[in-house]
Amino acid sequence: MTSCAVPTSQTTDAAASMRRGACPSLAAPMQTGDGLLVRLRPLDGSLTLSQFSDVAKAARQFGNGILEITARGNLQVRGLKASSVPGLAEAIGEAAIVVPDVAIETPPLAGIDPEEIIDPRVIAAMLREAIAARGAALKLAPKLAIIIDGGGRFHLGDTVADLRLQAFGRSDDAWWGLSVAGTEATAQSVCALRTEAVVPVFIRILEALTAIGPAARGRDLDIDAVRALCPLDACPVPSVPALTSASPVAGLHDLGSAGTALGLGLAFAQIDASNLIAFLQQASELGAREIRLAPEHGFFLLGLEREAAAIVRRLALAQGLRIAADDPRNHIATCAGSTGCASAWMDTKAMARLWVEMVPDLFDGSLTVHLSGCLKGCARPRASALTLVGASSGYALVVNGAAKDGANAYTDENVMKSALERLAELVRKNKDAGESARSCLTRLGAARVSAAFEQG
């Protein structure tokens, strides 16, 4: 009997492919304002530089020439047509890129993060194998997200999952905390498991989701029923210290014996495929050998000596990539915008540059500004401190809300710059020494922020 002395320290239907909330895979691309969209999550988020370059070439040949990395670290190819999707799929296959059917996410530097408790990729591989063995018997929601997190400097504690495993304890005596529907802080705790119990329990939970229906997610599970699926000798998850915030991706990171990782971010989640191909060629010549896709619309380059990494970092800056944790662009979420999506009423990339220029005091890392081309809010469905939404008549500002929430203020396109000048002045005059931008806006309140933006 296991001791409870736990340490305290493939194809979706056509209708689904057209819905928001369905996963736009190669088998089921999703219709967007700029054509079809395909999202790819390579196995363990890992690619060779050649494979990453091949994806960029495919985006240029079969899509609109723009490659995106999502907030969860997935690749997106936009601007596809029904006739071009098979060509993209063939290119992905020829590049030997493995894209698992079920999204099982592990931290971007799993296996080499010097601060992780245990490498989670072993369990992830076992679970994928068990799911594949059951084939059609498991009918899972297209966007079902499973996180297996071994901890470390670049953990996924702030990423929402339907089912999550969080390692705790010591590397030689690791336990896994199982929870449902949320981030590490908000998910409902189920039980603590030893490694050997994880896969059987997960399969029982996935069978329960299948019984509910093909669109069932973690939030649809009854927590007591889930606990009943755990072994009789399973333990409650003990009170352990909350995870500290994950380190920012952008920057140079010393991984000890694993060398140096160079973290980079795409400016506003996108990069021109030709620019990426040229950059990857330069990085490869300087010794980079592997890409790890990462949250925050970013990726890590591995294999570089520290001096070479510094050179590649400068090359990345020349290509418009984010290279530092204090880059204000780290804190702006944008969708494709009117330059890439027919549904959008705003050039979100140009607008983002305007916000950086006009309201620099907002971008101290305490909040995220969301710029949405329309009410869908694709880039950030959840609430943001400030959300600007494009409309046919101008722009709507939502304070502490999502794009779909009711607007607090409006302004015309012709006076947008003046509105931002007033917002900048409000923050500059009222922000106390040492106070964060988020705290300042919260203290001022939605009514005052809205009035400054709309009326002066």
* DSSP single-letter state for residue 256: G
Question: Residue 1's pLDDT is what?
Answer: 38
Q: In this predicted model, what pLDDT tens digit does every residue of 409-436 receive, in sequence order?
A: 999 888 899 999 999 999 999 989 889 9
- Within 8 A by CB and 6+ apart from 131, the residues are 101, 102, 138, 203, 206
CATH pick for 12-98+249-323 out of 3.90.480.10, 2.40.33.20, 3.40.190.10, 3.40.640.10:
3.90.480.10
Give the strand pairing for 75-80 and 66-69.
Answer: antiparallel
Mean pLDDT for the stretch of residues 351-374: 91
**Does the structure show a pLDDT above 80 at 14?**
no
Mean pLDDT for the stretch of residues 213-229: 95
Sign of the CA dihedral running 111, 115, 120, 122: positive
**Does the structure show a pLDDT above 80 at 241?**
no
Question: Residue 35's pLDDT is what?
Answer: 87
Lowest-confidence pick of 16-20, 104-108, 195-199, 398-402: 16-20
The whole-angstrom separation of Cα 422 and Cα 451 is: 9
Lowest-confidence pick of 58-67, 77-86, 101-110, 227-236: 227-236
**Encoding tokens for residue 264?**
């980079």
The CATH H-level (homologous superfamily) assignment of domain 330-454 is Sulfite Reductase Hemoprotein, domain 1 (3.30.413.10)
Q: Do domains 12-98+249-323 and 330-454 have the same CATH topology?
A: no
User: How far, CA to CA in Å, does 151 sit from each of 105, 165, 240, 261, 413?
Assistant: 13, 10, 13, 17, 45
Tell me what percent of the residues of the chain surpass a pLDDT of 90: 71
User: How far, CA to CA in Å, does 101 sit from each of 110, 134, 142, 145?
Assistant: 20, 13, 9, 11
Range picked from 47-61, 333-347, 408-422, 437-451 for highest mean pLDDT: 47-61
The whole-angstrom separation of Cα 160 and Cα 185 is: 10
The whole-angstrom separation of Cα 400 and Cα 403 is: 10
Q: Are 272 and 184 in contact (CB under 8 A)?
A: no
Q: In this predicted model, what pLDDT tens digit does every residue of 242-277 receive, in sequence order?
A: 778 888 899 999 999 899 999 999 998 899 999 999
The whole-angstrom separation of Cα 69 and Cα 299 is: 8
Buried b (16+ CB within 10 A) or exposed e, 200-237: ebbbebbebbbeeeebbbbeebeeeebbebbeeebbeb
Going from N- to C-terminal start, the domains of the chain cover 12-98+249-323, 109-228, 330-454
**Does the structure show a pLDDT above 80 at 207?**
yes
**Does the structure show a pLDDT above 70 at 22?**
no
- Within 8 A by CB and 6+ apart from 338, the residues are 344, 345, 346, 347, 348, 373, 390
Question: Residue 26's pLDDT is what?
Answer: 82
**Does the structure show a pLDDT above 90 at 378?**
no
Q: What is the pTM of this model?
A: 0.86
Tell me what percent of the residues of the chain surpass a pLDDT of 70: 95
| CATH code of the domain made up of 109-228 | 3.30.413.10
Interaxial angle between packed helices 437-444 and 446-454, expressed in degrees from 0 to 180 and rounded to the nearest 10: 90
**Does the structure show a pLDDT above 90 at 170?**
no
Give the strand pairing for 260-265 and 30-32.
Answer: unpaired
Mean pLDDT for the stretch of residues 216-220: 96
**Does the structure show a pLDDT above 60 at 17?**
no
Q: What SS3 state is found at 300?
A: strand
User: How far, CA to CA in Å, does 449 sit from each of 357, 414, 425?
Assistant: 19, 20, 11
Average pLDDT of every residue of the chain? 89
